[in-house]
Amino acid sequence: MPTIQTTTAGSLPRSQALLEAAGARTFAEDGFTWEPSADYDALLTQAVAEVVSRQRDAGITLVGDGEYGKTMASALDYGAWWSYSFQRVAGLALTGTDLFSQPRVRSGPGDVRLTSFVDRRDRHLFPGAYADPASGVSEGSPATAFPTTTGPLAYRGQDATDADVRRLTEALAPGERGFLTAIAPGSAARVWNTHYGSDEEHVWAWAEVLKEEYRRITDAGLVLQLDDPSLAESWDQVNPEPSVEDYRAFTRVRVDALNHAIEGLPREQVRLHLCWGSWHGPHVTDLPLAAILPEVLRARVGSLSFEAANSRHEHEWTLWQEVDVPDDLVLVPGVVGHATNVVEHPDLVAQRIGRFVDAVGHERVIASTDCGLGGRVHPEIA
């Protein structure tokens, strides 16, 4: 039997002690960056060592730090994968307007613009479910307030990124491979912007800033996972629904900026994560994978992580039998879902893996989770 490599999509459950310690941290005067704490760093170092050990014991062959360096103050904090970047980039400030409170924005032909998060089309279809905390659909709230780009962006996260690298590399066994996640330019640029003259200029500014973080991760010999749910998820955040052609043009800007940010990095050390968002909503307004895949495949990455287990997108596995997959691209399909606490039968997981092995060969498949397990799946079950 061939060996199938395994990994996760990033976020893993934090211990209660780690969540409480994060919640006890204080903000700086700007109201959204965290004050450093030696005690918290020590707790974080120990927690990363433990979560790497647990992954190793579970048979994971490409382990991560669980995104522990990205602060979550509660189990329902869905924004840590994104909000960590606010701590590492200058040019941001709280203005009272963000993606949750900004006025509704409307798009038109040839003019794709993102509206607020609470104005998503899926929310309009199911307002009762989204408003009901007992439904399991409500997204929770982030630990960090979301700022606005109010000035020139500049990277200031060298020490924080180096600490992430240090904690993970110290936890790795000899010869063991590890990965760290980082936000992609297109997803980072979804913060409200009052400084740059256009959406495209804003995206490219984030690309220029984040390239330093990316290089610090790959220079350490780790795999870099670029988290970019915006490529697919933003479709639901465009109101009214745009044409596929207009949305592809919108996405093309983001893929071009991503390629600029990773230029010169070892391709085999760069992985792109694509998803439709981790909230447990109906997702009936999700964009089909076929509509976005031609643009996604232009990303100059060595592997592609994507949702392939959730019930809204599992059927799309047949697409990989039809498209011309680049010979050097490794597929990292989600074969274990995160949308419910149901534990899939091992035979089903094996069948899911087999679909992608049949498409590209076992050497080019790394079995993964759909998305992070750190927010909605109970820790015992994750």
Q: Give residue-wise pLDDT tens across range 292-322.
A: 999 999 999 999 999 999 999 999 999 999 9
Q: What is the pLDDT of residue 32?
A: 85
Contacts of 210 (CB under 8 A, 6+ apart): 85, 89, 155, 182, 183, 184, 185, 188, 261
Q: Which CATH architecture has domain 5-369?
A: Alpha-Beta Barrel (3.20)
Angle ∠(86,88,93) on CA atoms, nearest 5: 40
Give the Å distances, CA to CA, from 5 to 16, 30, 338, 367: 30, 43, 19, 6
Specify the pTM: 0.96
pLDDT of residue 248: 97
**Cβ-contact 303, 330 below 8 angstroms:** yes
What backbone phi and psi angles, to 5 degrees, belong to 20? Answer: -65, -40
Pairwise CA distance, residues 288 & 128, whole Å: 25
For residue 83, with 0-12 CB atoms within 10 Å meaning exposed, 13-18 middle and 19 or more buried, which class applies?
buried
Q: Please list the alpha-helical segments (H only) found in 197-236.
A: 199-219, 230-233
Residue 16: pLDDT over 80: yes
366 DSSP 8-state letter? E
pLDDT of 217 higher than 80 = yes
Distance CA 35, CA 47 (A): 20
Residue 141 has pLDDT above 70, yes or no: no
Q: What's residue 140's pLDDT?
A: 62
Residue range 115-125: average pLDDT?
Answer: 91
Does residue 351 surpass a pLDDT of 80? Answer: yes
The SS3 call for residue 321 is helix
Alpha-carbon distance 211 to 365, whole Å? Answer: 27
Pick from 286, 275, 280, 293: which is nearest to 329 by CA?
293
- What integer pLDDT is reported at residue 93 of this predicted model? 96
Rounded Cα–Cα distance for residues 368 and 59 (Å): 12
CA-to-CA distance for 201 and 262, rounded, in angstroms?
18
Looking at residue 208, its pLDDT comes to 98
Distance separating alpha carbons of residues 76 and 23, to the nearest angstrom: 13
Q: What is the pLDDT of residue 12?
A: 94
Residue 242, strand partner residues? none
